[in-house]
Amino acid sequence: MTTQSITELFDLSGKGALVTGGALGIGQAISFRLAEAGAAVLIADVNLDAAKQTVQEIESRGGRAQAIAADVSSGKDAERAVQTAADAFGRLDILVNNAGIFPLVPVLDVDEATWDRVIDINLKGSFLFAQAAGRQMAADGRGGKIINIASVDGIHPNGVATHYNASKGGVIMLTKALALELAPHQILVNAVAPGGIATPGGENARTQVSETTGVPAQAMVDGWLARVPLRRMGEPDDIAKVVFFLASGAADFVSGEIIVTDGGYLLS
């Protein structure tokens, strides 16, 4: 293997990437960074309008992107999104399984529909997209990188979302299982486990809990920050930078790893 320069390692020019849930929040920041590094990015999201706006933003910065409406819990949508990326960009090198939902409901109140929806989107969706992308990458024979967005809540229970904890714990084991099985195809599979990132989804979740419990949303943020050694909420770009590292040539011998990115939250 020839030694690449730092610039070459971090250059994603000519690569094709697919980011689920890339319209807003963490997925949007990931799409921005991958496109900035030169990758062509297909954003697959249920919110097509927001996905198109993110595409416009990427294009205005000189990057290349497209949007497609897709629900990650659908196998058909996974196949369609992967095919679209392969057709549009001529290749698929990077998949980021980012789309996820996190309704905060106490365990005794979780209904079956909520359990199913969370598992279907967070866990089954990651599997379906990884399988569809894995088939494409294996057939192309160029290898690839799959990066799953897990959560600190997949490592430690948060006390307000058993269904979410279980789904993200599943994503962590899915990551390791995929890494082992896809290694013969030179497909590397890793996960980033964020904690406490300021996103539209996080704000909605806090607002909903606040409405049902009467606890002010700011009190929830303060309670979280009291446990974060770095004493700040994370920015979506804090996660995007780690995803970018895993997608880059700097991580060509890393597979099956979970990188916790939480300002030290799990230490406390």
Ligand X SMILES: NC(=O)c1ccc[n+]([C@@H]2O[C@H](COP(=O)([O-])OP(=O)(O)OC[C@H]3O[C@@H](n4cnc5c(N)ncnc54)[C@H](O)[C@@H]3O)[C@@H](O)[C@H]2O)c1
Minimal distance, residue 148 CB to ligand X, in Å? 9
Draw the binding track, 86-115, toward ligand X (x: CB under 6 A; -: no contact): ------------xxxxx-------------
Minimal distance, residue 252 CB to ligand X, in Å? 25
Stretch of 17-25, 213-221, 222-230, 249-257 lying at the interface with ligand X (CB under 6 A)? 17-25
Please say whether the dihedral angle defined by the alpha carbons of residues 44, 46, 50 and 52, taken in this order, is positive or negative.
positive
What are the residue ranges of helices labelled H in the chain?
6-9, 25-36, 48-60, 75-89, 112-118, 125-140, 162-182, 200-213, 217-225, 236-247
Draw the binding track, 187-206, toward ligand X (x: CB under 6 A; -: no contact): -------xxxx-xxxx----
Minimal distance, residue 43 CB to ligand X, in Å? 8
What is the helix (H) or strand (E) element at residue 170, kind and residue range? helix 162-182
User: By C-beta, is 156 or 185 nearer to ligand X?
Assistant: 156
Interaction between residue 26 and ligand X (CB under 6 A): yes
Minimal distance, residue 192 CB to ligand X, in Å? 9
User: By C-beta, is 63 or 202 nearer to ligand X?
Assistant: 202
User: By C-beta, is 186 or 208 nearer to ligand X?
Assistant: 208
CA geometry: angle at 33 spanning 131 and 60, to 5°?
115
What is the helix (H) or strand (E) element at residue 91, kind and residue range? none
Residue 265 annotated as catalytic: no
Residues 31 and 65: their CA atoms lie apart, in Å, by 9
Q: In this structure, which amino acid lies at residue 86?
A: A
List 11, 36, 71, 235, residue binding ligand X (CB under 6 A): 71
* Residue 47 burial (10 A CB sphere; 0-12, 13-18, 19+): middle
Catalytic residue among 32, 127, 129, 164: 164
Active-site residue set: 164
